[in-house]
Structure 1
Amino acid sequence: MLSLKSALARPFAKRVYKKIKKWSNNPEKTQQKVFEALISNGASTAFGKDHDFVSINSHQDFVKRVPVRDYEALRPYVDRMVAGEENILWKGKPLYYAKTSGTTSGAKYIPITKESMPSHVEAARNAILMYIHETGNTKFVDGKMIFLQGSPILNDKNGVKLGRLSGIVAHYVPKYLQKNRLPSWETNCIDDWETKVDAIVEETLPENMTIISGIPSWVQMYFEKLIQKTGKPVGEIFKNFNLFIFGGVNYEPYKTKFENLIGRSVDSIELYPASEGFFAFQDRQNEKGMLLQLNSGIFYEFIKADEFFTENPERITIKDVEVGINYVMIISTNAGLWAYNIGDTVQFTSTKPYRVIVSGRIKHFISAFGEHVIGKEVEQALQDAVEGTDITVTEFTVAPQINPKEGLPYHEWYIEFENEPEDLKAFAERIDESLQKQNVYYFDLIEGNVLQTLKITKVEKEGFKNYMKSIGKLGGQNKLPRLSNDRKIVDNFPYII
């Protein structure tokens, strides 16, 4: 028999589905309304006055007046805001600063405003409701759910609360979910990641867990500790666990590993949240890509990734994007970010409606020899190579080897195997073949004897975990870069076999 919560979930899901359908069927009109509202609200701010917002009537006007900026370039405005000034990037003061650890800028303070906060919460909720509408599955709503996240303890920065995004969002869990939610507040506040995961294991073991959510690499650690403690697969420990919600990295490289840890397959929903905004979520189980949130106070522009570093790259809106092209995503938001480069690259899988996959980071690529290999390509190549085998990979990263001791340069893959191949050389060749098929520049360099076939360096068990710990980035929202254009990570990397 359905519980009251289950019975109410379906009509609520249907209502949300209809609302989403309405704006996703009118994408250009929806984005134009968002654009006009942003310019109107931004006109009275310091940034709006500096960039003559009152005379902006079109996207072309906006492009002329507002250059694309990353955090460093926007920093003079952010610094004024953080110092306590009002009406700088958005009216009044922000509600929060989401603190993130930038690779080049040190700590970043990303504003979250009264207007932007609801979309962070609603998008995550709507992803689950769209799943309920599509599948009719509501069994999980009566069980316990967990989200592996940062500490909800917030500090104060000149009258504005400051913390990690996942910790801020923890304060907005709806009342009807409070009783279902784990871990406890006390456990969530534990700073040391490994101690925290141990506490989560103890807290969740006796419970009826139905939803588990988090970045795959950190959920994997939680699963492994559960199995270590009980000797049983996760799906046996939690018999009603049937929905995995994830974001932050591509799930495909982890899929086989997760199915082994769980002992069966479970449905999954992919999310695309960031401190700067909640951009997309998976709205259909059998469709590739996530539905771009066009109605959430975010105006999107796109620049072709291979033109991004040229003199004046063209900035286009959604009406001009094409499927399968690698774009740098530029956002303007009701948190006061203007023509802001978040550093992600995306590809559209569909334009009716607009769905995207995250293809990598504009800074995370290898083009030491002009090949411009991106994150999506290395992940796909690895997936192709393990398909139909019992090889499982825990984690990996790729770097160029420009000055080998002998022979031609090559791409060096650092791989931590759970179950390694019998023939490492043949495995490397399979990855290389897939990469050549996907990337014509890489193919030309191999064919032209500029590069030799990639080589694999084996990483010891828990090597990447120990590396992340050694640089103070274990757990939370931290992710190991899939590839780099230099050898900063791998040079002097001590965890190799």
Structure 2
Amino acid sequence: MFTIKSALAKVFARSVRKSVLKWANNPIETQNAVFKHLMEEAQNTQFGKDHDFRNIKSHSDFVSRVPVRDYEELKPYVERVVAGEPDILWKGKPLYFAKTSGTTSGSKYIPLTKESMPTHVEAARNAILMYIAETGNSEFVNGKMIFLQGSPILKEQNGIQLGRLSGIVAHFVPKYLQKNRMPSWETNCIEDWETKVEAIVAETLPENMTVISGIPSWVQMYFERIHEKTGKKVGEVFKNFNLFIFGGVNYEPYRAKFESLIGRKVDSIELYPASEGFFAYQDQQNQKGMLLQLNSGIFYEFIKADEFFDEHPKRMTISDVELRTNYVMIISSTAGLWAYNIGDTVEFTSLKPYRVIVSGRIKHFISAFGEHVIGKEVEQALHEAIEGSNVQVSEFTVAPQINPSSGLPYHEWFIEFENEPDNLSQLAERIEMSLQKQNSYYLDLIQGKVLQPLKISRVKKNGFQDYMKSIGKLGGQNKLPRLSNDRNIADTLTKQNLTK
């Protein structure tokens, strides 16, 4: 349906696309400008003085003065910012702290500054506008859009607002989207995720929903509730729903399940947001990977994942990276994060322009025997194993079984099926073949009789939701790790009787 709003969206989209292409086609110059800006703006902060930013003129100078740090190592500076001290990591005080639950650090407080906050909003907006510019589809702007997110209720601590990133971003929804946006403020403020989903279902069922956005596992929960309430496919309930926006995890393991719940295919846009920065978004429907945001006040470095734990691994800029190599991504930004290890690993799918996929977490892998299996490999193996079949997977995670009751050790796959395979052993064999093909270290261990082939343990329906609820991480931005190098998750699933 033609409206002035949809027509203006197309004009705005073409303008934004032109500006995006300008920096994307000049990546080295763009990153050099970001680096120079960061050094100049932060040289009088405490961190800048401690690391001699005034005399840093090149990337090699930066490497020699600023070591790579994770949150724990940066924490002494962060604690001073949390205490209300200005000019510590960035000029003045941050506007917000995005509070996240770290797996090893407890609660983490990630600063969002006057300079960094707008880049989160702009990247999310541009992802949608780039889609409009490419496809010409702008009719969805006339309908309702839902963003499944955390509560927007914020607390104040020493003059700084504190909350979840998705809740903070809710305060920055543009005025022209306010009438279209769902759920209501009151519903968004509900803390209990299950109660919140029920309220969202009640609010959205009568509406003309055209865009749905969120982490796939939690959107799936919303879709399932709609199906239970109506007995219809989501695509029947929302006839004009034609755009799914997601981030946080790989969509492929969920795709078949989603298409079954929706009843038809819909376009999708993948995002790569994090509390530390909005790093990338899918800029073309027919291209694999997401456009790396090189002009968003973030300077990127990359370390080869298989060298990361060496004593002095090489730190590369975008000019040094190669395709099909697993890198740990290191960032420095206008949020006051310096040579900061966000914990993600990425691979480049394109160098003109620079596009990435998230391949896993540097701490989420299995290398109990030296195999170093990563998230991308297990997701690809499962995708290949079920492709073309009627098998549907709701969720899964993998852990090492180091001390089996008999036989050699193995990788144990915990899978919650929507549609179970007729033959579980055959599915395990297909996953095994793909994994051996992708990972030569794993293949060597199988052939060397160090490991036996993987085994699958079935998880009860909604078992992973029950697990996440039991550890207080149901909903919001919380994600189930694909891989663990220990059996903490595996043992909890077993103890809670969530397997069958």
| TM-score normalised by length of structure 2 | 0.99
Structure 1 CA distance, aligned partners of 2:444 and 2:104? 33
Give the corresponding residue for 2:43.
43
Give the corresponding residue for 1:18.
18
Structure 2 CA distance, aligned partners of 1:367 and 1:210? 43
Structure 1 CA distance, aligned partners of 2:406 and 2:254? 34
Gaps of 5+ in 2: none
Q: Is residue 119 of structure 1 aligned with residue 119 of structure 2?
A: yes
Give the corresponding residue for 1:271.
271
Give the corresponding residue for 2:328.
328
What residue identity is the alignment partner of 1:496? T
Structure 1 CA distance, aligned partners of 2:36 and 2:243? 38
Structure 2 CA distance, aligned partners of 1:485 and 1:232? 41
Give the corresponding residue for 1:295.
295
Structure 1 CA distance, aligned partners of 2:139 and 2:81? 45
Q: How does 1:481-492 map to 2 (within 5 A)?
A: 481-492=481-492
Give CA-to-partner distance per residue, 1:29-79, whole Å, 9 cap, x none.
000000000000110000000001111000000000000000000000000
Q: How does 1:248-267 map to 2 (within 5 A)?
A: 248-267=248-267
Give the corresponding residue for 1:342.
342
Q: Is residue 222 of structure 1 aligned with residue 222 of structure 2?
A: yes
Q: How does 1:147-186 map to 2 (within 5 A)?
A: 147-186=147-186
What residue identity is the alignment partner of 1:399? A
Aligned-partner SS, 1:221: helix
Give CA-to-partner distance per residue, 1:374-397, whole Å, 9 cap, x none.
000000000001011100011000
What residue identity is the alignment partner of 1:9? A
Structure 1 CA distance, aligned partners of 2:429 and 2:376? 18
Give the corresponding residue for 1:143.
143
Give the corresponding residue for 1:32.
32
What residue identity is the alignment partner of 1:426? Q
Aligned-partner SS, 1:287: coil
Q: Is residue 368 of structure 1 aligned with residue 371 of structure 2?
A: no
Structure 1 CA distance, aligned partners of 2:241 and 2:424? 36
Aligned-partner SS, 1:19: helix
Give the corresponding residue for 1:211.
211
Structure 1 residue 447: deviation in Å? 1.3
Give CA-to-partner distance per residue, 1:243-295, whole Å, 9 cap, x none.
00000000000000000000000000000000000000000000000000000
Aligned-partner SS, 2:241: coil
Give CA-to-partner distance per residue, 1:92-143, whole Å, 9 cap, x none.
0000000000111111000000000111000000000000000000110000
Give CA-to-partner distance per residue, 1:298-352, whole Å, 9 cap, x none.
0000000000000000000000000000000000000100000000000000000
What residue identity is the alignment partner of 2:304? K
Structure 1 CA distance, aligned partners of 2:138 and 2:366? 44
Structure 1 CA distance, aligned partners of 2:175 and 2:489? 43
Gaps of 5+ in 1: none
User: Percent same amino acid at aligned positions?
Assistant: 76
Structure 2 CA distance, aligned partners of 1:174 and 1:140? 16
Q: How does 1:42-61 map to 2 (within 5 A)?
A: 42-61=42-61
Give the corresponding residue for 1:389.
389
Aligned-partner SS, 1:366: coil
Structure 1 residue 11: deviation in Å? 1.1
Compute the RMSD of aligned alpha carbons. 0.5
Structure 1 CA distance, aligned partners of 2:33 and 2:197? 44
What residue identity is the alignment partner of 2:245? I
Aligned-partner SS, 2:145: strand
Describe the shift of the 1:232–1:273 C-alpha distance in structure 2 as closer, same or farther (beyond 3 A): same
Q: How does 1:474-485 map to 2 (within 5 A)?
A: 474-485=474-485
Q: How does 1:411-490 map to 2 (within 5 A)?
A: 411-490=411-490
Structure 2 CA distance, aligned partners of 1:388 and 1:279? 33
What residue identity is the alignment partner of 2:302? F
Structure 1 residue 422: deviation in Å? 1.1
Structure 1 residue 204: deviation in Å? 0.1
Give the corresponding residue for 1:237.
237
Structure 1 consecutive aligned stretches of length 4 or more whose deviation exceeds 4 Å: none
Structure 1 CA distance, aligned partners of 2:236 and 2:446? 47
Structure 2 CA distance, aligned partners of 1:121 and 1:53? 29
Give CA-to-partner distance per residue, 1:189-238, whole Å, 9 cap, x none.
00000000000000000000000000000000000000000000000000
Structure 1 CA distance, aligned partners of 2:400 and 2:257? 27
Give the corresponding residue for 1:131.
131
Give the corresponding residue for 2:96.
96
Aligned-partner SS, 2:388: coil
Aligned-partner SS, 1:322: coil
Q: Is residue 496 of structure 1 aligned with residue 475 of structure 2?
A: no
Structure 1 CA distance, aligned partners of 2:492 and 2:314? 40
Structure 2 CA distance, aligned partners of 1:112 and 1:335? 5
Give CA-to-partner distance per residue, 1:393-441, whole Å, 9 cap, x none.
1100000011111111100000111111111111101000000011111
What residue identity is the alignment partner of 1:462? N
Aligned-partner SS, 1:127: helix
Give the corresponding residue for 1:351.
351
Aligned-partner SS, 1:350: strand
Aligned-partner SS, 1:286: coil
Structure 1 residue 492: deviation in Å? 3.8
Aligned-partner SS, 1:280: strand
Structure 1 CA distance, aligned partners of 2:320 and 2:367? 27
What residue identity is the alignment partner of 2:174? P
Aligned-partner SS, 2:306: helix
Q: How many residues align?
A: 497
| TM-score normalised by length of structure 1 | 1.00
Give the corresponding residue for 2:66.
66
What residue identity is the alignment partner of 2:2? L
What residue identity is the alignment partner of 2:276? E
Structure 1 CA distance, aligned partners of 2:297 and 2:398? 36
Structure 1 CA distance, aligned partners of 2:103 and 2:365? 15
Aligned-partner SS, 2:359: strand
What residue identity is the alignment partner of 2:449? N
Structure 1 residue 467: deviation in Å? 0.4
Q: Is residue 192 of structure 1 aligned with residue 209 of structure 2?
A: no
Structure 1 CA distance, aligned partners of 2:474 and 2:108? 18
